A and B are shown apart, each in its own frame.
Chain A
Amino acid sequence: DAGVIQSPRHEVTEMGQEVTLRCKPISGHNSLFWYRQTMMRGLELLIYFNNNVPIDDSGMPEDRFSAKMPNASFSTLKIQPSEPRDSAVYFCASSDRVVNIQYFGAGTRLSVL
């Protein structure tokens, strides 16, 4: 398996623009997680899905952030409108209840100017 695949790897955008980050989990995994990593706050869980259903979105910072998982092989994290303080590395991870290990993608480095 190719592992968790995130795209794009880098995104540079201007304040106010919409940003969409994409994630393809490992095939067969039924849980998907979105994290944000910054120097100041470390690694923060934003939201996680189980069987394509959002289970815990308490980490989503505000209404500008939204996440979807339309099927078992694809998820998006959208920021609209983006702000400079959203600049961070966003990670996607997936797991299943058998192995009980989260596997991480390589991340998307977002810069909002």
Chain B
Amino acid sequence: AQSVTQPDIHITVSEGASLELRCNYSYGATPYLFWYVQSPGQGLQLLLKYFSGDTLVQGIKGFEAEFKRSQSSFNLRKPSVHWSDAAEYFCAVGAEETGANNLFFGTGTRLTVIP
């Protein structure tokens, strides 16, 4: 079965600084990987996904993530954080054969942005 680990519960960065949120997954075959963002009082919004192909994927709001099979990682990055990026971020993994029907979510990383 799949599993996801987000080792950082809470991260604080200064506005304008770079950001990297870590995600490690466990799955023996080809994973489907997702990053979602949840703003306070809102549902989860998809930032980006990886199914196959180029291991560096671009998403919305200036985010990108890199799939590294050798490290079982799918870390999320942004070169310059904006105050509006403060939110909770969830990494999720699925399987190719089930698509989005069986996602395993990490416990989330809360991002605080200071002026």
Contact = CB atoms under 8 A, between A and B. Distances in A.
Contacts of A105: 43
Interface stretch (B22-30, B62-70, B72-80, B102-110): B102-110
Interface stretch (A14-22, A42-50, A70-78): A42-50
B105 A43 contact: yes
B101 interface: yes
A91 interface: yes
B44 interface: yes
B12 interface: no
A102 B100 contact: yes
A3 B44 CA distance: 12
A101 B46 contact: yes
A34 interface: no
Interface residues of B, number: 21
> Per DSSP, are chain A's interface residues mostly helix, strand or loop, or mixed?
strand
Interface residues of A, number: 22
Q: Which residue, of B34, B49, B99, B101, has the highest number of chain A Cβ atoms within 10 A?
A: B101
Contacts of B14: none
Given A42-B108, A100-B32, A101-B49, A95 B43 contact: no
B45 interface: yes
A104 B44 contact: yes
A102 B99 CA distance: 10
Nearest to A103: B46
Contact of B107 (A31, A42, A56): A42
Interface of A: 4, 31, 42-43, 45, 48, 50, 55-56, 91, 93, 95, 97, 99-107
Interface of B: 32, 34, 36, 41-46, 49, 51, 90, 94, 99-103, 105, 107-108
